[in-house]
Amino acid sequence: MSNVTIKHLNASDANFSQQLKDLLAWDESDDLDIQQRVLAILADVRSNGDAAVINYTNRFDHRAIADASELELPKATLQAAWENLPAEQAHALQTAADRVRTYAEHQKIASWQYEEADGTVLGQKITPLDSVGLYVPGGKAAYPSSVLMNAIPAKVAGVGELIMVVPTPNGETNELVLAAAYIAGVDRAFSIGGAQAVAALAYGTATIPAVAKIVGPGNIYVATAKKLVFGQVGIDMIAGPSEILVICDGKTNPDWIAMDLFSQAEHDENAQAILISDDGDFLAAVEQSIHTLLPTMERADIIRASLSTRGALIKVDNLDVATDVANVIAPEHLELSVADPEALCAKIRHAGAIFMGRYTAEALGDYCAGPNHVLPTSSTARFSSPLGVYDFQKRTSLINCSAAGADSLGKIASVLARGESLTAHARSAEYRIK
Ligand SMILES: NC(=O)c1ccc[n+]([C@@H]2O[C@H](COP(=O)([O-])OP(=O)(O)OC[C@H]3O[C@@H](n4cnc5c(N)ncnc54)[C@H](O)[C@@H]3O)[C@@H](O)[C@H]2O)c1
Ligand SMILES: N[C@H](CO)Cc1c[nH]c[nH+]1
Ligand SMILES: [Zn+2]
């Protein structure tokens, strides 16, 4: 027996909206104690540079670093990790990297301009970021796929220098992470983590260069540090626990759907896996599959906790209602496991990524389909998008007025500037009126 109890909801119930709200509620509760500790680490690294980084690294990652030169993982180490990888892993990593790169190439935004009748030219110039810091978690688990998903779009954008940081507790490196960094084009790598690594990337030390933007997931210390250094540097997002929402018409193998729910639940006790169907018998069949399959899972305890506290099986009268519910949830991952996924997709407005049809397991997107697996969580898909090349490019406006353009625009600007009582603005524009 699997000992998992999963909530049953019905979208026709009078209090369904409130039940759904309660199900989605995610209290990240800003822990003031952690915030104080992170603030102290940031201040220490800002003032004392490498010495502070070494001190925290020795303390939290159980290292015995004596000199800052030991913090860098030389390029040759990354290359050796790649060259010594077993052939099957090397093939899988390279194939995934190639597919992520091909997809990213399609996302590149280009400069543009247009000319008005009087010869004035207006445009937008695109520039890649000079430097980016990539945080790769290394505490409890290693995610080589996240190295590819963060590093490749940055390099496709043309980022000048990509600096990776990854903690190596007890000095143990993860060879797949280092190999992924090598093939993704990471320029320099340092074996540091936590808030001290974020501080080093934000402020710079004698050894670790300051960057313009920090991307990548991490634990509460990393996420808090990223929030606190925002403004000094850019950041990508603060990712919450993984989520999956499956809409199924009842015709997919229930074992497949149960495993799709498990695939995100196994990330974290706080991950959220939800199934919606218009077929009550199918919901019962998936629940039975959950009970049967859970004891076979390596991470059964995490999956059980996630499904019991944040999972749900939702019955709807028809699939149109399912899309309405999906738009409220705005999930990180949405599987449309139905006969006509295009028809349902047209009705979806908010989701990080949509996996269409019975054969498109969300797990393929996590590793190798091509689109990025760094996606908006906690309903933030209402206003934000997957990580992409555009996150590593910035836009600058271009304005090149002809004499005739300066004449006509000058008159407009003069009126508006005087309306704001900004005389210097008005006169600067007026000088150029014929
Ligand atoms: N959304 C995604 O795409 C995605 C992908 C991969 C990982 N993740 C998440 O990233 C997180 C990784 O966390 P992790 O802990 O395994 O690795 P991590 O690298 O984020 O954190 C390890 C570091 O935390 C710091 N730390 C630990 N205890 C501390 C303390 N008491 N005080 C100050 N600092 C301390 C140390 O410096 C250590 O190096 C997980 O929550 C995981 O779910 C998310
Ligand atoms: N599903 C995660 C993002 O929510 C990404 C990931 C990495 N490895 C496996 N999955
Ligand atoms: Zn995943």
Query: What domains are there in the chain, each with its CATH number?
Result: 7-28+242-369 (3.40.50.1980), 32-110+126-235 (3.40.50.1980), 401-430 (no CATH)
Closest among 346, 275, 355, 279 to 318, alpha carbons compared: 279
Secondary structure class of 198 (helix, strand, coil): helix
What confidence category does residue 26 fall into, taking pLDDT thresholds of 50, 70 and 90?
A: confident
pLDDT tens for each residue of 188-240 = 999 999 999 999 999 999 999 999 999 999 999 999 999 999 999 999 998 88
Q: What is the pLDDT of residue 29?
A: 58
Mean pLDDT, residues 393-402: 98
pLDDT tens for each residue of 311-356 = 999 999 999 999 999 999 999 999 999 999 999 999 999 999 999 9
| Tally: H helices and E strands in the chain | 17, 15
Percent of the chain beyond pLDDT 90? 95
- Counting ligands in written order, the one closest to the CA of 174 is 1
pLDDT tens for each residue of 105-120 = 999 999 999 999 999 9
Q: What is the pLDDT of residue 131?
A: 98
Point out the catalytic residue in the list 175, 287, 332, 335: 332
Active site residue 373: no
pLDDT tens for each residue of 400-429 = 999 999 999 999 999 999 999 999 999 999
Distance CA 63, CA 271 (A): 31
Mean pLDDT, residues 350-365: 98
Token couple for 187: 């320029």
* pLDDT at residue 28 greater than cutoff 70: no
Q: How many A from CA of 173 to the centre of ligand 1?
A: 15
Q: Whose CA is closest to atom 10 on ligand 2?
A: 366
| Cα-to-chain-centroid distance, residue 276 | 25
- Check if 146 has its Cβ closer than 6 Å to any atom of ligand 2: yes
Token couple for 79: 């290359």
Mean pLDDT, residues 266-291: 97
Distance CA 209, CA 362 (A): 37
Helix (H) or strand (E) segment spanning residue 50: helix 50-60
Q: How many A from CA of 8 to the centre of ligand 2?
A: 26
* pLDDT at residue 129 greater than cutoff 80: yes
Q: What is the pLDDT of residue 2?
A: 72
- Is residue 156 a contact partner of residue 389, using CB atoms and an 8 Å limit? yes
Active site residue 335: no
Mean pLDDT, residues 301-309: 97
Closest among 397, 396, 399, 398 to 129, alpha carbons compared: 396
Q: Whose CA is closest to atom 6 on ligand 2?
A: 366
Could you tell me the end-to-end alpha-carbon distance of the chain, in angstroms, rounded to an integer? 87
Q: Is 420 annotated as a binding residue?
A: yes
Point out the catalytic residue in the list 333, 335, 362, 373: 333
* pLDDT at residue 140 greater than cutoff 80: no
* Average pLDDT over the chain, rounded to an integer: 97
Single-letter amino acid, residue 236: D
Q: What is the pLDDT of residue 150?
A: 97
